[in-house]
Amino acid sequence: MTTTASTTAPLADARTLGLAHYAARGVLERVLARHGITFQQQIVLRAAVTAEAPPTPDDLVAQVHDSLKADPADIRTTLDELLAERLLVADGARLRATDAGRDRLAAVAAESAPLSARVWGGIPTEDLAAAGRVLALVTERANAELAALTS
């Protein structure tokens, strides 16, 4: 069944953005749970896998903090969890994903791909482009406000 947003849909605002985020994240978290990985673990592991060179723990903490705005201490705990589960391993001062870590991400991606396709499918490209522009601007402005609040 394909559904579309009503032509009288509300204007985008913080509430509609939040509702969309939590609905999509709820879908992802169900998939992640079936694979024994948390949302934050998946974000950290993906950052390690997609890095151009093996990152240091500090690199990963900074990248994930910038993305999720999560407490650095919590991110370090997540790193420890991934190391304990052997999804990441230390390679000198750097961390790299293990085959098990890469396999876990691949399994999550394979299971979530058709779900994502159903969520995003059928949305016109021009609508996605407009939404992308708006979300990029909201992110930029929110990051600036956060920086002002923390300085």
Look-up of token digits 């709820």: 26
**Amino acid 6: pLDDT:** 54
**Amino acid 79: pLDDT:** 97
pLDDT digits (tens, 9 = 90+) for 81-116: 999 999 999 999 999 999 999 999 999 999 999 999
Whole-number Å distance between alpha carbons of 140 and 9: 25
pLDDT digits (tens, 9 = 90+) for 110-139: 999 999 999 999 999 999 999 999 999 999
Whole-number Å distance between alpha carbons of 29 and 23: 10
Burial 115-142 (b: 16+ CB within 10 A, else e): eeeeeeeeeeeeeeeeeeeeeeeeeeee
pTM over 0.85: yes
**Amino acid 1: pLDDT:** 47
